[in-house]
Amino acid sequence: MYHLTIHTSFAAAHNLLHYQGDCENLHGHNWKVEVTVKAEALDKSGLGIDFKILKKETKSLLGTLDHKYLNELPPFKDISPSSENIARILYEGLEKNLASYQVDIESVRVWESDNACATFTRT
């Protein structure tokens, strides 16, 4: 099994719903995102997936979040835009966007600070 990982980032504001503390107030993060896919086999070029494709598809999804107020976006109309929920939304979007490639999304990790992250997997 091959595991391929990319790192990228986006900036956005949010406030947590149903939270009692400072994070219930409007604030922002420079989010870091780590995407890992797995491939059982390599293509003729010796690749599980071209990093260029993985980066492009991830960047496309992040473009819908970058420099936005997350609470106003459709995926977060009824749920808190927590790191956990952002990781799941990105995971599900990448599942759809990469369905035609011979890879499976293993995990999406979203860092809201240098010391705190949430990871979403299907297992």
Among 3, 7, 27, 67, the one annotated catalytic: 67
Q: Is 67 a catalytic residue?
A: yes
Q: What is the pLDDT of residues 103-120, one digit of tens each?
A: 999 999 999 999 999 999
Q: The domain 2-120 is classified under which CATH number: 3.30.479.10, 3.40.1710.10, 2.20.28.90, 1.10.10.10?
A: 3.30.479.10
Residue 23 confidence (pLDDT) above 90: no
Q: Which residue among the candidates 34, 57, 106, 112 is catalytic per the annotation?
A: 112
Q: Where are the domains of the chain?
A: 2-120
**Cα distance between residue 100 and residue 111, in whole Å:** 28
Q: How large is the average pLDDT for residues 34-48?
A: 97
pLDDT of 90:
98
Give the end-to-end CA distance of the chain in Å, rounded to a whole number. Answer: 16
State the pairing for strand pair 2-14/68-69.
parallel
pTM for the full predicted model: 0.95
The whole-angstrom separation of Cα 22 and Cα 94 is 31
Closest of 75, 8, 2, 60 to residue 35, by C-alpha: 8
Confidence of residue 123 (pLDDT cuts 50, 70, 90): confident
- 52 has pLDDT over 90: yes
Considering 23, 84, 92, 117, which one is annotated as catalytic? 23
Span 59-82, average pLDDT: 97
pLDDT for 77-94, tens place per residue? 999 999 999 999 999 999
Q: Is 23 a catalytic residue?
A: yes
